[in-house]
Chains A and B, each alone.
Chain A
Amino acid sequence: MTTRVGVVTFPGSLDDRDAQRAVRLAGAEPVALWHRDKDLHQVDAVVLPGGFSYGDYLRCGAISRFSPVMDTIIEQAKLGMPVLGICNGFQVLCESHLLPGALTRNDSLHFICRDQKLRIENASTAWTGDYTQGQEIVVPLKNGEGRFVADEHVLDALEAEGRIVARYLDVNPNGSYRDIAGISNAAGNVVGLMPHPEHAIEPLTGPTTEGLGFFTSVLKQLVSA
């Protein structure tokens, strides 16, 4: 049976189609999920895509977090369903308290759009199993509020528990504490990532194809589960 990976569309989501395409290229069946529908339509995993859901009103991800689909996703994520939040999706996961910390305005105040080098720090989450520990990849990054902040205790705990999934290399584009580009929950099924692996899956449109690993990783994880 084909693995079904849901991609949520909120009003203002931008990268839902790219995420669906990444899911398809990885070999799974993408399933479009609508923010007002509580039903996850038997998906095995969920991607929360990038964009500007609800126009970033109030705070990025703050309103999406209370959408009907998120009630079910939060419930299922706590039961172990893999969830990947990219960019705005990462913000939604922090606002949902599925991940600690928060994403705030870039320290430069500029919207940053560049090809970004990352180091995969934890290759054992549901979304990074196809990478090797310490592997360096380049994927696009585009955000205005991508600066990961958390208090020192939380940062120390994330480091100690191996929950920093990816770090910025060469340049810290937004002032994120400890160069954090992505983190996971304690179980490793929920991952939030500020850069965009779904834009680095084909040579025609991406700087590399090194982003595809996030989507192939979850397939293997689900097949072996």
Chain B
Amino acid sequence: MSFSITLTVNEVARTVTLDDPRVTLLDLLRERLDLTGTKKGCDRGQCGACTVLVDGRRINSCLALAISHDGAQIRTIEGLAKGDELHPVQAAFIAHDGFQCGFCTPGQIMSAVGLIEEAQAGADPERVREGMSGNLCRCAAYAGITRAVLDAQERMAGAGRKDAA
């Protein structure tokens, strides 16, 4: 049995034929669409490395079956920068040393973009830390990550660029 699904990934419509219903959204992005920026860490919903935005919301793509997301709008790390111009969250992670090895970084950044979009944390560092608790960093760059998220959020609000998320 094969299934054809259509996803809009980083604003491009992609139709994929699946010959197996077990494919996760994470594996579809990496193996079928060559979008390997989204990382496979634990593959069990515990580390957050696979975080992407689905219909504007951050989720763990490792626990999402691709077949059940037919028609969804997906945004991945590859869809953030505009050419050579980094997204404000990407720029802030560099400015604040929000990573060391970098493996968790795409998930951290997508989670941060989602968090800023959700607008629940505000400028409270404790709420930002709690709001980023679904993303583990084994290098423990957490202090830089928190500063990066707060800084990016402020810049995006200041620039009136909420829609950039």
| Same complex origin of A and B | no
